[in-house]
Structure 1
Amino acid sequence: MEHKVLVVDDSVMMRTVIRSFVSKMPEFKAVAFAENGKKALEELDNHKDLSLILLDIEMPEMDGLEFLRYAKLKSKAKIVILSSVALSGSPYAAKARELGADAIVTKPSGAVSLDLVDKRGDELAGVMRRLVGLG
């Protein structure tokens, strides 16, 4: 079974990095992309069968935390916060958990972390697999 993924990040570079990462995992397929929470809510209407949402926090128009408030009502997809501001113990991380985030993986070097796969790839892959019940 292929698990469908929505990638939400305001950086084109990060969406590209994440898409490439997901494409190398045969059990997942990135099927939708959004540059902010508002666009991501539209994608939830277009993709009712998502398994996973990879979500940045800091974005224009509607940030990841505001999106989380609505996403949990509209989708059964598991949500992984993928952000440089949601460090363990931070107010962002606490708020994300409170709003229903299923996991948090921090970007290693800021909002645009081109080293994401090298530094956090194994962690992210493990979290993704665990949340969809693959170990």
Structure 2
Amino acid sequence: MGLKVLVVDDDMINRMLLKTLLKKNPKVSEIIEAENGSDALEKMKKDPSINLILLDIMMPIVDGIEFLKIFRLDMENAHIPVIVLSTDDTRKTEVFDSGANDFLRKPVKEEMLTAKIEQWTKE
């Protein structure tokens, strides 16, 4: 059984690009999309078998930082790696303090994303 990845980004083009990169990865079996942190929290409740989250920071309604704070309150989510993807390097400390496992700068390079997925999803 492969990885179920939740891609959280308010920009449809960013989600499409990430889906294209993820589809090339043989470990990924399913990709679920969310437009903001609120949408992502709902999708996590409906499908607790998601094993990896790729998360944007700047989004409407519930941003990435707020999502992390809410998401990490539930101890059942402690094992799920969250990789933050952003153009904003200045918020790295806040990102990690909020519960992110890793950070990649946008635009995301395929080889970097593949390496991070491998790092955080070793069986």
Q: Helix, strand or coil: the match of 1:68? A: helix
Distance 1:58 1:21, change over 3 A: same
Q: 1:56 and 1:99 mapped to 2: Cα distance? A: 13
Conserved? CA contact 1:7–1:30, under 8 Å: no
1:39-54 maps to which residues of 2 (within 5 A)? 39-54=39-54
Any unmatched runs of 5+ in structure 2? Answer: none
C-alpha RMSD of matched pairs (Å):
1.3
- 2:43 partner amino acid: E
Structure 1 residue 2 corresponds to structure 2 residue 2: yes
Q: CA deviation at 1:50?
A: 1.2
**Distance of 2:29 and 2:54 partners within structure 1:** 12
After the TM superposition, which of the residue ranges 69-78 and 36-45 deviates more from structure 2?
A: 69-78
Does the aligned pair in 1 maintain the 2:2–2:30 contact within 8 Å?
no
Q: In the alignment, what sits opposite 2:93?
A: 94
Is 2:22 the counterpart of 1:22? yes
TM-score by length of 2: 0.91
What displacement does 1:10 show? Answer: 0.4
1:131 correspondence with 2:112: no
Output the amino acid matched with 2:68: L
Q: Which runs of 4+ in 1 moved over 3 A?
A: none
User: How far has the Cα of 1:100 moved from its partner?
Assistant: 1.2
Structure 2 distance, partners of 1:4, 1:71, is: 17
Secondary structure class of the residue paired with 2:94 = helix
Q: Deviations over 1:91-134 (max 9, x none)?
A: x11011011110000103xxxxxxx3xxx211111011110116
Q: Which amino acid aligns with 1:99?
A: S
Residues paired across the two proteins, number: 120
Compute the displacement of 1:37 (Å): 0.4
Q: Alpha carbons of 1:121 and 1:80: their partners in 2 closer, same or farther (altered >3 Å)?
A: same
Does structure 1 retain, via aligned residues, the 8 Å contact 2:19–2:31? no
1:69/1:99 contact within 8 Å kept = yes
Percent identity of equivalent pairs: 32
TM-score (norm 1): 0.83
Aligned-pair distance for 1:26?
1.1
1:58 deviates by 0.4
Residue 84 of structure 1 pairs with residue 76 of structure 2:
no
